[in-house]
Structure 1
Amino acid sequence: MADGSFRQRLAAILAADMAGYSRLMAGDEKATVAALDSARSVFRTHIEVHHGRVIDMAGDSVLAVFDTATGAVAAALAAQEGLAAIVADVPADRRMRFRIGVHLGDVMEKTDGTVYGDGVNIAARLEGLAEPGGITVSDAVQGAVRGRVSATFIDQGEQNVKNIPHPVRAFRIQAGDLTFPSSRAVGAEPGIAVPDKPSIAVLPFSVLSEDSRIGFLADGLAEDVIALLARVAGFLLISRASSFVFRDRDANISQIARQLGVRYIVEGSVRPMGDQVRVSTQLTEAETGRVLWSGRFESKRDETADLQDDIARGIISELEPELTRAEIALIRRQRPENVDAWGCYRQALGAIALKGWNEDAIAEARSQLQRAVEIDPTFGLARAQFALLTAIGRNTGLIPGSSILESDAIEAAEQAMLLDEGSSEVLGYAGCALADLGHHDRGAEILQRSLEIDPSNAQAHVALGATHALLGQLDAGIERMRYGMRISPRDRRLGFWGWALAVFLLRAGRAEAALQEARTSAGRDSRLHLARVLEAAALQSLGRSDEARDALAAARHIRAVLTLNEVALSHGRRIAKQIEPLWQGG
């Protein structure tokens, strides 16, 4: 050490390791390696955003160093949230989950950046004490972040760990019980502040049957309750896209409520009883766990369409007695009777969720939607989704543009609205498709109608905000987009929406905000090359060319066939011209 090759300093160490790596590799080696690459990207993004430095990512482990315990804990929380998002659609037995340990202590740092010492070893031992998907920290970390993190620390007592001569006191961070303001900068906030006005989320109803038709009925009832509650003034209602993320999730009511930022939770179950269907539902005050109201409804299977009216009345009468005078209009959504059509529709959505935004995924999704319409020509939602994916594919360069393609998309959107003009979801997708194809005024009009039907439709809010921005109303459009993302905080589309928001922020001259949003987007979806392109453009605007070059390299690593012409198509000619020197330099 006399030669100056080492220096001793205080640092926070984050150590992470994958649970069940050998089992996953044995089951599907190729898929596991691909998932591990995605996980590493999530870690790298959140470590860098929180001013940390990756030391090593050998095998299935991650080691990083931070100047502060606050940064290390923020990165750990955001990483776990991001990792959970990318495996949401993966079967439970194939999900990649990491344990994370964080310690604050002395380390020896070499001139090449590597670190050694008990500080590193203790972090690794704490990681071993964590649950899969969890975080365990030392007493030093817990003390350092006290007052800066509103969270529950579960004292695990003093632990005797390997190769450490003294016991280490450990604390487990209570999952789902966290509010970390600084992590909101990267968009992966584990907890969301509960608003002042009544806020509510309707969870997917449990299905107590193997009959797939009962499953579709259960989802339909929950969706209709959401639509009915959205018509009542005074409520902040969480979008279906976020609340339905918690299907089959191992979390209690209070944890779910904190993650969604709501006071009340509606849950229920559907059980077949011969030719009858029994629906049980209850309203729970999340903070206390007290059941405020419960109801049981029975009906013949062919008379279930009116059940949601009674359920919604019971919920509203308990939350706001004065609202019982309001007429609760029955919202009937047209759904295809053919289960196969729904199967194709869901496979279409799954293609994007599992494969990301690329030519193959778009082609598969469009093919499945076309098949759904062939099976059931009255399936308006499938037509609207087809129109939207076609428009997005064209605008991002994933589908070659042509007048025939545009005509097909417009026809699909118009047919969808004729078939199901009362569906907020159909109007939201169709209106967005038309706006994306250049019919901004008509698209905005349709999106407004969508929100009149269902004010909680997050997709319609985001699309309307983007349309306003395209019409030159940048500030209003940006705020509308932010609102849509706020009311659906667990939405799987947040990565894509965040990229679009970042584009408009950069156009508005708000480069720092655009950079923050682009990095958030990349953290939410590590396969989204568009976010990395926008990150490069924002960094270049800020004069940080070296970082911009790295971000562009990351985009081209994700999408090897990316071209400047494609960037001009997806981001605009100005951004393409801005990053051209980086392209040539790379």
Structure 2
Amino acid sequence: MQDELALAICAQLEPRIRISDIQLGASLKSTPAWRMWQEGWYRLFVDAPQPRPERSLKLFRDALELEPDCPLAHAGLFIVISTSLLWGGMGPQAIVEARQHVERASKQLPAGNATVMYALGMLSFVGGDSLETVIDYVGAAVDQEPSNPMYHGILGYLPAHVGRIREGLDRCLYAMRLSPRDSREPLLCYMLGNAYIAAGEYQRGIESFNRCPRFSEVDFVWLMVAYGHHCLGDFRRARESLSRIETPRSRSFYEGSLRYRLWLSHPDELKLPFIKFLTEHLFRRDA
């Protein structure tokens, strides 16, 4: 308990810009580039989550125009692009650019840098690698920054999907206890909601998702809420949740995600009826 209290205090007091990053920023030739990097990260967390975080994307690109070798801007731009890939704001062709940025950042930042480890994990995730590989990268980021609630939340989200449900749920709850209750909170609620769904605690999962209304533009939130309602037999609310998805991706994308990336411990007996329901109420609504 004492160790947990100490980490919670560190998370509460954690500076927005860490000392190592300040030193890197101070070494840049362009002060405006450094400021753009700072604002890019700020906007990534403060702006409402959206499929394509335009303001952060522009700030990181502008920083690289001024300072093409800025490793933090390369890492930041990669994370924005990978976030857009996850939320559907960019197509799969963007992964080529994402890989270039993370490779530049990993060559210039110190070995084992937490931001790079997280970025490599994201690259593995959007690239379709084994979730265990992603877990290894994010675990390395946690080792470097044990008071970072975001990394803990993601490290809970991933094991919950591969069947290590109790481990994942406990880690997500721990991340919530570490959280300073700032702009990162919605993403932590998203991670926790996924872990509850994995554990079969559907109502708690839905309640957790409902605590992050800033994610209203993200299709996966409504897909997951609909799945929770469907598992509870509340088909009316499941339909209502699917109706909140304004720009659906392809049926094959959702089916592949549900069957091979999300909640792998859930049997087809749960997933296949929902995929059929999804087809009927999401892809035929405009027919």
TM-score interval, normalised by the smaller of the two chains = 0.7 to 0.9
Provide the residue aligned with 2:192 in structure 1: 501
Provide the rounded CA distance (Å) in 2 between the counterparts of 1:570 and 1:504.
19
Match of 2:267 in 1: none
Q: 1:516 to 1:365 in 2, by over 3 A?
A: same
Q: Deviations over 1:203-258 (max 9, x none)?
A: xxxxxxxxxxxxxxxxxxxxxxxxxxxxxxx6543426x8669xxxxxxxxxxxxx
Q: What secondary structure, in the 3-state scheme, does the structure 2 residue paired with 1:509 have?
A: coil
Are the counterparts in 2 of residues 435 and 441 from structure 1 also a CA contact under 8 Å? no
1:197 match: 2
| Aligned: 1:544 with 2:234 | yes
Corresponding residue of 1:482? 173
- Name the structure where strand makes up a greater proportion of residues: 1
How far apart are the structure 1 equivalents of 2:277 and 2:187? 22
C-alpha displacement of 1:460:
1.9
Displacement of 1:364 in angstroms is 4.2
Aligned to 1:417: 106
Note if 1:354 corresponds to 2:76: no
**1:568 match:** 254
What's the TM-score, normalizing by structure 1? 0.39
1:184 maps to what in 2? none
- Which residue does the alignment assign to 2:281? 582
CA contact (8 A) 2:8 2:179 kept: no
Deviation at 1:468, TM superposition (A): 2.8
Gap change, CA 1:492 and 1:411, over 3 Å in 2: same
Deviation at 1:401, TM superposition (A): 0.8
CA distance in 1, matches of 2:109, 2:257: 33
1:539, 1:548 within 8 Å by CA — same for their partners in 2?
yes
- Is 1:448 the equivalent of 2:139? yes
Residue 37 of structure 2 corresponds to which residue in structure 1? 345
Alignment-mate amino acid for residue 251 of structure 2: N
Matched, 1:473 2:245: no
Superposed displacement of residue 341, structure 1: 1.4
Aligned to 2:181, what secondary structure does the other structure show?
coil
2-structure distance, mates of 1:569, 1:395: 15
* 1:441 CA drift (Å): 4.4
Shift of 1:422: 5.8
Equivalence map 1:380-391=2 (5 Å): 380-391=71-82
Q: CA deviation at 1:525?
A: 4.7
Structure 1 residues 399-438: aligned runs within 5 Å? 399-402=90-93, 405-421=94-110, 424-437=113-126, 438=128
Higher helix share: 2
Q: Secondary structure at the match of 2:47?
A: helix
- Mapped partners of 1:441, 1:531: distance in 2: 23
Change (3 A) 1:487 1:577: farther
Instruction: Provide, for residues 177-201 of structure 1, a one-character-per-residue CA deviation record: whole Å limited to 9, x for no partner.
Output: xxxxxxxxxxxxxxxxxxx52777x
TM-score (norm 2): 0.74
2:135/2:158 contact within 8 Å kept: yes
Question: Contact 2:45–2:184 at 8 Å: present in 1 too?
Answer: no
Matched, 1:237 2:9: yes
Percent identity between the two aligned chains:
18
Q: Name the structure 1 match of 2:207.
A: 516
CA–CA separation in structure 2 for the residues paired with 1:400 and 1:441: 24
1:538 CA drift (Å)? 0.9
Aligned to 2:70: 379
C-alpha separation between the residues in 1 aligned to 2:132 and 2:237?
Answer: 39
The CA deviation at 1:351 is 6.0
Cα 1:514–1:476 shift into 2, 3 Å = same
In structure 2, what residue type is equivalent to 1:409?
A
Q: Which runs of 5+ in 2 are unaligned?
A: 260-270
Deviation at 1:380, TM superposition (A): 2.4
- Looking at structure 1, the residues matched to 249 and 137 of structure 2 have their Cα atoms a distance apart, in angstroms, of 34
1:270-419 to structure 2, matched below 5 A, reads 333-336=23-26, 337=28, 338-349=30-41, 350=43, 353-354=46-47, 356-359=49-52, 361=53, 363-402=54-93, 405-419=94-108
C-alpha distance in structure 2 between counterparts of 1:414 and 1:466, whole Å: 25
Structure 2: distance between partners of 1:447 and 1:578: 34
Check the 8 A contact 1:499/1:534 in 2, yes or no: no
Q: Secondary structure at the match of 2:25?
A: coil
Which residue type is aligned with residue 358 of structure 1?
Answer: P
Aligned partners of 1:428 and 1:447 also within 8 Å:
yes
Judging changes above 3 Å, is the alpha-carbon distance between structure 1 residues 441 and 546 closer, same or farther for their aligned structure 2 residues? closer
**Counterparts in 2 of 1:434 and 1:465: CA distance versus 1, 3 Å:** farther
- Write out per-residue CA displacement over residues 55-101 of structure 1, whole angstroms, 9 at most, x where no aligned residue: xxxxxxxxxxxxxxxxxxxxxxxxxxxxxxxxxxxxxxxxxxxxxxx
How many aligned positions are there?
Answer: 266
2:256 and 2:73 map into 1 onto residues whose CA distance is 24
The 1:334–1:569 alpha-carbon spacing in structure 2 relative to 1, beyond 3 Å, is: farther
Q: CA RMSD in A?
A: 3.6
Taking a change above 3 Å as real, the CA distance of residues 532 and 470 of structure 1, as seen in their structure-2 partners, is closer
- CA–CA separation in structure 2 for the residues paired with 1:415 and 1:475: 37
**How far apart in 2 are the matches of 1:352 and 1:562?**
24
* SS across alignment from 2:92: coil
Given the superposition, is the C-alpha separation of residues 520 and 390 from structure 1 closer, same or farther in structure 2, using an over 3 Å criterion? same
Letter in 2 for 1:562: P
Q: Which moved more, 1:567-576 or 1:334-343?
A: 567-576
How far 1:577 sits from its partner (Å)?
A: 4.0
Query: What do residues 379-427 of structure 1 show as CA deviations (whole Å, max 9, x unaligned)?
Result: 322222222222222222211113xx32332332233233222675423
Correspondence 1:32-181 to 2 at 5 A: none
Equivalence for 1:266: none
Q: Does the C-alpha gap of structure 1 residues 417 and 353 become closer, same or farther in structure 2, counting only changes over 3 Å?
A: same
* Alignment CA distance shift 1:540-1:199 (3 Å): closer
Contiguous gaps of at least 5 residues in structure 1: 1-195, 201-233, 246-307, 309-329
Question: 1:565 and 1:539, CA in 2 relative to 1: closer, same or farther beyond 3 A?
Answer: same
